Structures are given as structure tokens and as C-alpha cells.
Amino acid sequence: MKHVIWGIDPGTTVGYAVLDIQGKPLYQGQTKHLDVDGLVAKLRAYGKPLLIGTDKAKVPGFIQQIAAKTGAKVVRPSEDLSLTKKRSMVGAKSHATDALAAAMVAYNNMGPLLRRIIRFAQDQHVQDRLGAMLELVIKRGVSRTAALETVQDREIVAPVIHRAPTKQDYVKLLGKLAKEKQEKTRLAYDLEEAVKELREAQRKTKPAQRVIMKQPASQKLRKEVTKLRQKNALLAKLAQQNKLVVPIIKNLSTHEVQKVVDKDIIMVEEPSQHSEQGLSLVQDKLVIVQRPWKKSNLTMVHGKKIRMQVIDNLAFVDKNSLRKALEGNTLLERIITEYRESRA
């Protein structure tokens, strides 16, 4: 999703405007009695907010809520824009044009930096990673060089925070889940083959060696083999139940998050232990947490709300309980239903 700039004029009648990152107007309007969620849903259709502009030196609470909801950076003037100044910028007065003036405040303030980032990405031939670089430089305060090193190390999808998902997003997710299921089935097969080889080796063991198997060390080995068989059986059973395979990481440090950077759903044992880069890399993921933790710009669900079974560093999550925990996201249900019908 492309990055854009929002301008907002709060009030009983809310004015709003959208610019692209080159400062070109894309949309503007005004609506009475529009709340935060309603405005975010309306403007998401035009792009992901990188900046939110206001014409007030003191940021209104309404705009602070939207910034917390979207993760966008708020840009304000050093003093309230005068009526004369706004008219010189956008012409006739209305809530929509006041919002357009607010968006222009953000662009005029940050435009030089935006142009430098865009030009730098072009010079380094990483235009396809521009979204990730904008997120790191504008929102995280990372230098352009450091942002370049980050996006060159691995493929990074620009973080998305509570954006309206598209059908393509969920088709991609379902494809990844199908691939993980295949990997899980392969793992179960490999374990079964290992057990067969061990049985064959035991069968060929000479009588004298079989006596040794009665010793404590050999008994311990047999216990380990038994555990392996049990785990193999359980994995095979879970594979047949078509559960989601979710990787588990210890915390949200950069080192831990890099292990699961290509996953859409992850589980975190200690989310409060984190780095800024780690947080930026999981903003486009669904995060299952084991401990309560409030972080408004992450999409999280508590593990207690989900039926799952944990084996080593994997959680096998029941799809129905996950859907129930995410109730309210009707778009998710509709898109998954459409995808299933298309595959029927």
C-alpha cells in the first residue's frame, strides 16, 4: 500500500484531505459526527498515512488518537495558521479546505526530507523497498544509510498498522499457511522414517549387544525414542487437523524477530522485552502474546483466548478459536469465505 499524507480538521464536522508523498492532492471532504475509527476506515482507501498534518500549534486530542491508531507522525506549525494564511494556501474556507491546508503544512515541513529519501532510494536501486525506508527514516528517526542497510539485509514489507486488508493479502496468507502445512507433514514423515531406521538397527543388534540395552544409559535412550515416537504421532495428528502452525519466539528483540520475519502470525513469550527495530518489523503481523501487554500500534491477541497446543517452539493454533478472538474483523471472514468458494 502506498504512503500518503493526511490533513485533518477536527470538530462536529470533520474535514479531511489526502496528499501523495509528492504533495499532489488525492482526496478531500467533510462529514458530520465522524469518529476516529470511521475516519481511519474512510481514508485508508487512499493509502497508508506516513504523516498527519494539523493547522494548530497544539495538537488536538482527536488527531493524537488517530496518530496512535495508525502510527503516523504528526506535523504541526509553530503557531496556529491564521485565516489569511490558510486562504492564501487553499482559497475559500471550509472544513475540507482547512484539512487540505493542514496536509500542506505536513508536506511543506517534511517535503525536503521525503524528496531526499526518494532520490536516495532511486540512486541505490531499492525503489521497491522505498516504503520500508520511509517507515524507518520518518517514523523511527533512522538515518537513510542505516535504513538502506536494514532493507538490503532481507526483504522487508513496509509495516502496516490496522490497515484495511485486501483479498490479495488473505490469499497470500492462506498460501503461506498451506506451505507451512506441507512442511509440517514432511517433518512428521521424516520423524517416522527415523523411527523406522532405529527399529531396524535394533532388530539387527547382536544378542550380546541387546543385553547392554538393559543398562541405565540404554534405558534412557529407549525413553528418548519413546518420546520421539509420541511426538511424531502427535505431529501427525495435528497435521490431519489442519491447524495453523505458528512459530514461537522469546521476545521482540531484533535477533528474535529476524527468525520469523517472513511469517504473518507469530507468538511471543515476553513482548515487553523489545527493541525499536524489533517492533517495526512486527507491525505487519498478528502477534499472539502470552502475557498482557498494551501496545496500540500492534495487532495482538492474548493466547488465553485461543485453543492451541505447544510443541517445542511451535504452536498449533485452532483456526476457529483464532477467528473468534478476532471477531469484529468481518472483512477477514468475508475474504476467507470468498477464497474458499473460488477454490471449490
pLDDT at position 278 is: 84
pLDDT at position 29 is: 93
Q: Considering the domain boundaries, does residue 77 fall inside one?
A: yes
Mean pLDDT computed over 334-338? 50
Among residues 188, 220, 240, the one where a domain terminates is: 240
Among residues 222, 240, 258, the one where a domain terminates is: 240
Residue 89: pLDDT band (50, 70, 90) is: confident
Residue in the block written with cell 536501486: 125
C-alpha grid cell for residue 135?
Answer: 517507515
d(CA 161, CA 47): 12
Do 269 and 205 fall within a single domain? Answer: no
- CA 275 → CA 253, 271, 278, distances in Å? 5, 10, 5
pLDDT at position 340 is: 54
Among residues 219, 240, 261, the one where a domain terminates is: 240
4 pLDDT exceeds 90?
Answer: yes
Count of the separate structural domains present in the chain: 3
274 pLDDT exceeds 50?
Answer: yes
Short-list 191, 204, 322, 186, CA closest to 267: 322
Asked if 266 and 287 count as a contact pair (C-beta separation under 8 A), the reply is yes
pLDDT tens-digit profile of 21-71? 999 999 999 999 889 999 999 999 999 999 999 999 999 999 999 999 988
Q: Considering the domain boundaries, does residue 202 fall inside one?
A: yes
Do 199 and 253 fall within a single domain? Answer: no
pLDDT at position 288 is: 87
Do 86 and 223 fall within a single domain? Answer: no
**pLDDT above 90: percentage of residues in the chain:** 28
Beta strand 73-75 pairing with 244-252: unpaired
Do 20 and 123 fall within a single domain? Answer: yes
**Residue range(s) defining the domain that contains residue 265:** 244-343
pTM above 0.85, yes or no: no
Please provide the average confidence, as pLDDT, over all residues in the chain: 80
Do 112 and 197 fall within a single domain? Answer: no
d(CA 316, CA 245): 5
pLDDT at position 236 is: 67
| CA 115 to the chain's CA centroid | 26
User: Which one has a higher pLDDT value, 302 or 60?
Assistant: 60
Do 211 and 267 fall within a single domain? Answer: no
Do 143 and 12 fall within a single domain? Answer: yes
Q: Considering the domain boundaries, does residue 158 fall inside one?
A: no
Do 202 and 294 fall within a single domain? Answer: no
pLDDT at position 27 is: 94
Do 139 and 223 fall within a single domain? Answer: no
pLDDT at position 342 is: 53
pLDDT tens-digit profile of 194-246? 777 777 776 665 555 555 555 555 666 777 777 777 776 776 676 666 677 88
Q: Considering the domain boundaries, does residue 163 fall inside one?
A: no
